[in-house]
Amino acid sequence: MSIIEQIQSTADSAIQELEAEITDLEEEIEIHKLRIQGARVQIQALKRFLNPEEGIHEMVKPAKGAKKNGKAHGEGLELQERHYASIS
């Protein structure tokens, strides 16, 4: 194998590793967006509990980009479950 072929092979491997890392990070971002959305829902529920007369008029804002590229909420939960399984 020539030096040029070795460099090309090393570069291709590095590209594949970086692309895999990007995919993993994008999945983590989606998981965190869902966690943020869930926290917002909990905050609104607690606010309604503490101030029932004011809570009627407040609406929960969906997390920005929580549903992206047609990904459903269930898929995000699946990613979250996979994430927690991988760290435990």
Which tens digits make up the pLDDT trace of 14-70? 999 999 999 999 999 999 999 999 999 999 999 999 998 875 555 555 555 555 555
Tokens 């606010």 belong to which residue?
Answer: 47
Distance from C-alpha of 85 to C-alpha of 88, rounded to nearest angstrom = 5
In a domain? residue 13: no
CA 80 – CA 32 distance, rounded (Å): 9
In a domain, 49, yes or no: yes
Q: Quick one: pLDDT at residue 1?
A: 81
In contact, 16 and 68? CB cutoff 8 Å: no
Position 24 scores a pLDDT of 98
Instruction: Note down the domain range covering 30.
Output: 25-87
- Evaluate whether 85 touches 79 at the Cβ level (below 8 Å): no
Determine, yes or no, domain membership for 35. Answer: yes
Query: Does residue 33 lie within any of the structural domains?
Result: yes
Domains: count for the chain: 1
CA distance 65 to 33: 8
Return the higher-pLDDT residue of 71 and 32: 32
Q: Is residue 20 part of a domain?
A: no
Assess if residue 76 is contained within a domain. yes
Residue 3 lies in a domain: no
Domain-embedded: residue 62? yes
Lowest mean pLDDT among 1-10, 12-21, 44-53, 78-87: 78-87
Report yes or no: 32 and 63 within 8 Å, Cβ to Cβ: no
Mean pLDDT on 9-14 = 98
* Residue that has been written with the tokens 């479950």 in this structure: 81
Quick one: how far is CA 46 from the chain centroid? 24
